[in-house]
Structure 1
Amino acid sequence: MATEVQGTDAAVHEGEGVRRRDFINIAAVSFAGVGGLAVLAPLINQMNPSADVLAQATSEVDLSAIAEGQAIKAVFRSQPLFVRHLTAKEIAEADAVDPSTLRDPQTLEQRTVDGKKQWLITMGVCTHLGCVPLGAGEGENRGEFGGYFCPCHGSAYDTAARIRKGPAPKNLQVPTYKYTSDTAILVG
């Protein structure tokens, strides 16, 4: 009979609360979890864009210094950005082209902001293999259509930066931008 009481006492002691071994297991797993987070946090954080990249996420361009008929090259996200002040003649030439005859059909109105048809903002990267077309700098070859000419493989763009000849499959890309004033735009 004494044995039964002892067995019952042992069973009662084992079933009570958290045992020392359970506490050590929980503490070890918790310590390993915190240590794992401490190691992973900097590894994940290093994948975030750096401050210099975030600073290039938008670019502001002053339009007041660009004369009619002139184009400039700016930088947006480490790529060339072409800002062109179209003349009335260049606008008329672009409007005279039937968009259905183009490889990538778009009108000048679709490529500019309403009421600001004279300002054409495009990325300065050829859609064929990524070369930088000529035509934004003073005296550069603008090609047979008066817009931009890619010297790498001969793609020619018109005054609305639409592909007219050569291997490029698409028009020069128009980035997202907005007017912050009548003489400034914010790209990005």
Structure 2
Amino acid sequence: MATDEDQHVSAGGTTPPPEGPEDPRRRDYLAIGAVAFAGVGAGVIAIPLVRQMSPAADTLALSTTEIDLSAIEPGQAIKATFRKQPLFVRNLTPKEIAEANAVSIADLRDPQTLEERTKTGKNNWLITLGVCTHLGCVPLGAGEGENKGPFGGYFCPCHGSAYDTAGRIRSGPAPQNLHVPEYTFTSDTVVTVG
């Protein structure tokens, strides 16, 4: 009986035996290598694009505002700017804090407590954007002698929205409380907004 090798030889010369299936480990290695190479290439292309979209250092400097609180007396408010918008910083008196805490949350259009609008242990410092939530006018009440409205907080002269001492909407067309931006106390007398 003839073997496979004999059949190849008898067919008229020497021919190599037929090739078996390709080694699967080699194929997997090539596939993994191609994917890894493509991933590295995508990363090399993506890194400059992501860096290009990051804000410049001078823009980042404008994105925060540092405020010295040491000169703000209890009951006084100041106006500052944050990202080109007015910012109100108010040092509430114990009486104003008590009035704000006495308001029933169920009576508020945009229910929030004073505690939710201030930092724990620093509830005398109310920091809000000075932009009425109705149409974007700047409310009165942060400057000396300005109309604080019927609730002792802020009053928008454009359409009559009135805010209480916690910056919460109490009457008028404004749908929401004055917005509280992100801020942190960097010391007892300095706050960084943004």
Match for residue 157 of structure 2 among 135, 151, 156: 151
Q: What TM-score, normalized to structure 2?
A: 0.71
Structure 1 counterpart of 2:184, one-letter code: K
Name 2:78's counterpart in structure 1: 72
Alignment of structure 1 residues 31-46 onto 2, 5 Å: 45=52
Q: Distance in 1 between matches of 2:172 and 2:193?
A: 28
Match of 1:183 in 2: 189
Compute the RMSD of aligned alpha carbons.
1.8
The answer to whether the 8 Å contact 1:53/1:77 transfers is: no
Deviation at residue 54 of structure 1 after TM alignment: 2.2
Choose from 130, 142, 148 the match for 2:136. Answer: 130
Shift of 1:53: 3.1
Alignment pair present for 1:162 and 2:168: yes
2:117 to 103, 111, 114: 111
- Cα deviation code 1:63-102 (max 9, x no counterpart): 0010010000011111011000000111111011001110
After TM superposition, give the deviation of residue 51 of structure 1 in Å: 5.0
1:101 to 107, 128, 152: 107
What is residue 61 of structure 2 aligned with on the other side?
Answer: 55
What is the letter of the counterpart of residue 105 of structure 1?
Answer: P
Rounded to whole Å, the distance in 1 between the matches of 2:72 and 2:129 is 17
Partners of 2:59 and 2:165 in 1: how far apart? 31
- Please report the TM-score for the alignment, with normalisation by the length of structure 1: 0.74
1:102 counterpart letter in structure 2: L
Unaligned runs of 5+ in 1: 1-36
- How many residues of Structure 1 are paired with residues of Structure 2 in the alignment? 147
Tell me the distance in 2 between the aligned counterparts of 1:164 and 1:110: 17
Pair 50,154 (structure 1): closer, same or farther in 2 beyond 3 Å = farther
Give the Cα separation in 1 of the matches to 2:170 and 2:84.
26
Q: How many Å apart are 1:48 and its aligned residue?
A: 5.7
